[in-house]
Amino acid sequence: MTLWRTSPCPSLPAEEQEYVKEARETLRLLSSSGITMLEDFRDILAKAARETEEKNSEIKNRYERFKTRLQNDPESVTDVQIFEHIHELFWSRGAEPCDQEYDPLISSLSFTKADLQRRDTHELKQAWTGFLKRVFGLETSWEWPCSFGLAQWYLLHDKLSHAVAVYEHLYTQIRRMELAEYEDTYERCLLKLFNLCVEEGLAERARHVAELIGDYHDDGLISLDAYADVLLEKDGLRYREMGETIERDREEAKKNLHREIGSLFARLHDTTRKHVIEAELWSRGQPKGIDPIAAPLHWALAIESEFHHKIFSPNQEVLGNLLGEFRPKHGKTCGVGQISKLIEVTGSSPIRKAIVEKKISAWRNLVSVPDLVKILKEISKDRNRIAHVSSEGPYTKENSVEFVEHFRNSGWIFRFLSSLAVTG
C-alpha cells in the first residue's frame, strides 16, 4: 500500500485537478490569440465535478459494504484494510478522521482495542510507531493528518493513553523534520502531548516535553503565551512531587509584588504578569534550590513578553525591518538578545532613532533605563546558557542567586518593565 504525503485539507483528487489545470492552460492559450471558449471551459469543469461526484459515490458504497462486513464478520478484516478505508474516506471528505463517520473504522483497529493503561512512558512512545511498522511491514509515516485525526478521535473517546501514543509518533516526525512544511501544527501537537502527559500522571515525560517546547519557542515555533502556560503547569508539577500545592506560594508572591511595585503590577500584560509571579515565587526561599533555572528563565521571559506586547507587536513592520536578518518569525517574540540588538541598531543612526521615537511613544523611556544594552546582553547570556548547556557547565543554584541579586533585587527589571507601561 502506498501512502502519500498530503495537505491537511485536500481539494479535488489528482485526476480532476489535472482536468482543471489543462482547462486553465487551454483558456490561457486561446485568450492570448484573441479567442474565448468559456462554454468549453465550463464543460470541462462540469465534467470534473461529475466525475468527482461519481467517485465519491463509489467510495461511499464501498464504505457501506465494508461497514456491513465489519459488523457481520469482523475477524475477516485486517488493519491494513481498515487503514485503506480511512485513507480513502479522508481523501473524499478532505477532513481529519475524528468525527463519527470514522467511528466504525477506528474502533475496529486492533490498536484501539489494545489495553495501553499499564504501559510505561517508553512503551507509549513506541506504541503507535511500532503498530504502523507491524501493519505495513516497513518504516512508514502514514498520512500525518490521519494520525493527527486519530489522536483527536482517541481524545474524544476518552482513550488518553492511545492519544499519547499517537502524539508521541507525531512528535517523532517533527523531530526528524518529516513535517517541516507543516510548522504551523507543531504548537498544537506539542501542547496536546504535554497536557496529556500531565493528565495521565506522566510527570517526568511532561517535564521533558516542556523543555522541548522551550526549545521550539526559542526557534520561533511556539508562541510566548502558550509557552508561559506550559511553564506554569511545569512549576506546579514540581510542587506536586514534593506533596505540596503551588497556589499558596503564588498568592504570597503576588502580595510581595503588590507591595514592591504597586500599580505597575496591574499594568503589565497578562502573560508578563504570569511570568513575573512565577519568577518572584522561584526567586525566594526553598524553590531556588529545587529548580535553579526557573527564576532567571521567568524573569527573562517577562522582559521578552512585555517588550513584545507593548513595543514590537504593534510596530512589527518598522522594527522588523531594522532587525533585518535577525527579525523573529511572524507573530513570534524578540528574544532578549534581539531586543538589545534592536536598541543598538536604532541608536546608531540619528535618522532611525528619530523615526522610532516618533512612532513609539515609550521608546525614550526605554532607552533611558540605566545600562540598558549592557544588562540585556548579560541576561541574554544567562538565557542562552539555560537553553543550551555551555562549556561553563549546567546552570547552578549559585548562578540563579547571582541573577536574582543583580537584576531583580537591584530593581533593574522593574525599571525596564515600568519604562514600557506608558504604552499600556
Is 189 a member of any domain? Answer: yes
Same domain for 188 and 89: yes
- List residues bridging with 390 in a β-sheet: 393
Same domain for 212 and 86: yes
332 DSSP 8-state letter: P
CA distance to 174, 185, 361, 400, per residue, from 178 (Å): 6, 12, 44, 37
Is 243 a member of any domain? Answer: no
**How far is Cα 182 from Cα 351, in angstroms, rounded to an integer?**
40
Same domain for 352 and 284: yes
- List residues bridging with 393 in a β-sheet: 390
Same domain for 203 and 281: no
Is 268 a member of any domain? Answer: yes
Is 404 a member of any domain? Answer: yes
Is 123 a member of any domain? Answer: yes
Is 235 a member of any domain? Answer: no
Same domain for 78 and 157: yes
Q: How many domains does the chain have?
A: 2
Give the pLDDT score at 305.
95
Residue 89 C-alpha cell reads as 474516506
**Coil, strand, or helix at residue 335?**
coil
Give the pLDDT score at 333.
82
Is 218 a member of any domain? Answer: yes
pTM of the model: 0.75
Same domain for 176 and 86: yes
**How far is Cα 210 from Cα 194, in angstroms, rounded to an integer?**
7
Beta-carbon contacts of residue 111 (< 8 Å; ≥ 6 apart): 79, 127, 128, 131, 162
Give the pLDDT score at 6.
39
Mean pLDDT of successive 10-residue segments in the chain (424 residues)?
39 52 61 54 70 73 84 88 86 71 91 86 89 79 78 93 94 86 87 94 91 89 91 88 80 94 95 96 72 92 95 90 82 87 92 91 94 96 81 82 95 96 58
78: enclosing H helix or E strand: none
Same domain for 177 and 259: no
Same domain for 207 and 261: no
Same domain for 123 and 204: yes
DSSP letter string, 119-177: --HHHHHHHHHHHHHHHHSS-----HHHHHHHHHHHHHTT-HHHHHHHHHHHHHHHHTT
Angle at 140 between CA 61 and CA 16, to 5 degrees: 45
Give the pLDDT score at 286.
58
Same domain for 259 and 176: no
Q: Which domain holds residue 167?
A: 1-18+50-222
**How far is Cα 158 from Cα 67, in angstroms, rounded to an integer?**
23
Same domain for 351 and 215: no
Is 232 a member of any domain? Answer: no
Same domain for 354 and 218: no
334 DSSP 8-state letter: P
- The amino acid at residue 309 is H
